[in-house]
Every structure is written in structure tokens, then in C-alpha cells.
Amino acid sequence: MSGSRTVRELQERAARALPAEHVTDLDGWWLRHAPHCSWWIGTVLPHGDADPGDMARRITAAERFYTARGTTTRFQITPEACPPALDPLLAARGYHRESPISLQTARTTEVLTHTSRNRPGLPENRPDLLGNRPSLPEDRPPGLLEDRLRVELDERPTRAWFDVWCAVHAHDDPRPEWDLLHRVDQPSAYARALLGDEVIAVGRTVADTGWAGVFGMVTLPHHRGKGAAHTILNALATWSTTQNAPNMYLQAEQTNPKALHLYTHTTFTELTTFHYRTAK
């Protein structure tokens, strides 16, 4: 499989894992409308070839689509998946560039191995979700093994999961985001990391044709640095091994160094970068 095809298919898997309420196909371009959800969910996914004249027609049609719905026209620009002339054409039309994102991938077994060995709070000989007992590196500080983090998984979103996600991603009306989660058709796992009885971090994964996408990774601010993100990734990777998903992917903001550091240390590597173009 070519690199450009892999990139395109991963971005389309991500779109299915973040399903907009309305999607219109415009000659292969996905015009997505997601009222009151995070803005990037309601953007154009402009994949496939198009000559310059046809691109201008499609751009105009997309602008009419979003204007009719009272929203700003935005394009998700992934160089390997989009027509090469699209980005400069949008720039010439006054669209400004924003929100650079890193698309990253990893082998599921590698994520599982590295999160099992490196995450704080894993008691000695404690089995993982599949009943396996992890090996611990010799240089582990003994005090870290006393942490009481544990993880719970659900196949569907729960209020306990969603409340923590909302605590970090504030929304005036969270119902559209809750509805979005219920539109996901692919097998999913929602992980909650608990310290005692308190949910302190969450994340989810969606299995889709051999890949598991990681989404919604958040930790409550006053609980960061306790290994919760490693716990979540370990749980999601463990679940992914049961779903015939030997590979994992995620999208991380390039302006979030802590997240990038976490993913680097759990073996994710950058496949490509993408950004958005927003109408003035």
C-alpha cells in the first residue's frame, strides 16, 4: 500500500470515528456539517484528484454548502491525500492556515509493551486486561509501584467517561458531542482511569479495518503526572489486540508538547502533518 493511500485511508477512518451529523459527497469530497461540535469535525475532507478548474467549482460549491448552514467554510488539508494545487488555491482565495496537526502511527504490540513497562502505578505481578502479567524493568523506582491506578472499559460512552472529557473540553451545550459518540458505528472502547473511586482520565479507541484510532485522551489537570495517560493507552492497546487491529493511529496538535512527548515515548511516530484552511 502506498504512503499516500495509507494517509488518505487513515484520515477517512478518523472521520468515521468523529462522525459529523450531516455528510454530503461532492465528487469524492466529504462536506461535513456538525452543528455545535468541535469545529474541526465540520470541515471539508477534500480527498482525490481534481484539475484546477474543477477544484474552483468544488470550492464554490463547498462555500455555498456552509453558507447555507450559517457556518464558516474550512478545509482539512493533508498533502498526501489532497490535490496538490488545492492548498495554494485556497491561500490565494484568502483562506488562512491554522491548527497544524501531527498524524502518528504505531504497532499495537509496541504501544502495549511500552505502556506496560513505563507507566507509573503498575503493581508488581498485576495482570493486564487479558490476564497477562507484565515484566518490570530493573530500574523502576519502587515507590511508583504503590500507586493505585486502575482502568475500566466500556463498549459505549458512559456519563462517568463523558463528564471527565467535558471537564477538560468545556462546551456550553455538551449534548451534540454526546450525540456524536452515539453515531460511531465501528467497534469502540471507552477507557476510564481511576484513583480510588475517582475517574481522573479517559480516552477511547475505534477499531476500523486493521487500525485502532485513539481519541479523546484527557486527564484532569490536578491529576496529571500520575501515569494516567499511560494507563489509558495500555488499556486501549490491549483492547485493540482483541479486535484484529495490529496498528494504531492518532492525531495530535503540534502545539501540545506534553502530548507529543507522551506519544513519542509510547512508540508513536509521525506519518505526516496536516492543517486547516479557514475562509476569511
| Domains of the chain, earliest start first | 3-102 (no CATH), 104-271 (3.40.630.30)
Q: How far is CA 234 from CA 43, 140, 253, in A?
A: 31, 18, 21
Q: How far apart are CA 16 and CA 23, in angstroms?
A: 11
What's the mean pLDDT in 195-211?
Answer: 97
Angle 164-168-173 from CA coordinates, rounded to 5°: 85
Range in 25-39, 140-154, 161-175, 179-193 the model is least confident about = 140-154
- State yes or no: pLDDT of 177 exceeds 60: yes
| pLDDT single digits (tens) 210-264 | 999 999 999 999 999 889 999 999 999 999 999 999 999 999 999 999 999 999 9
Of 30-39, 53-62, 108-117, the one with minimum mean pLDDT is 108-117
- Residue 147's pLDDT is 54
Calculate the CA 101 to chain-centre distance: 11
Rounded mean pLDDT, 72-93: 97
pLDDT at 208 exceeding the cut of 90: yes
Higher-pLDDT residue of 140 and 274 is 274
Q: What is the mean pLDDT of residues 179-195?
A: 97
pLDDT band, very low/low/confident/very high, at 53 (cuts 50, 70, 90): confident
- Give me the pLDDT at residue 120, please: 45
At residue 2, the pLDDT reads 62
Average pLDDT of the chain is 90
Buried b (16+ CB within 10 A) or exposed e, 97-115: eebebbbbbbebeebbbbb
Using pLDDT thresholds of 50, 70 and 90, give the confidence band for residue 171.
confident
Per-residue pLDDT of 86-145, as tens digits, reads 999 999 999 999 999 999 999 999 999 999 854 444 443 344 454 444 443 333 343 342
C-alpha separations of 13 from 10, 17, 145, 185 in Å: 5, 6, 37, 11
Q: CA-to-CA distance for 105 and 211, rounded, in angstroms? A: 9
Q: What is the pLDDT, as a whole number, of residue 170?
A: 80
Q: Give the pLDDT of residue 144.
A: 42
pLDDT band at 172 (very low <50, low <70, confident <90, very high): confident
How much is the pLDDT for 135? 40
CA distances in angstroms from 52 to 5, 86, 90, 110, listed in the order given: 21, 8, 11, 43
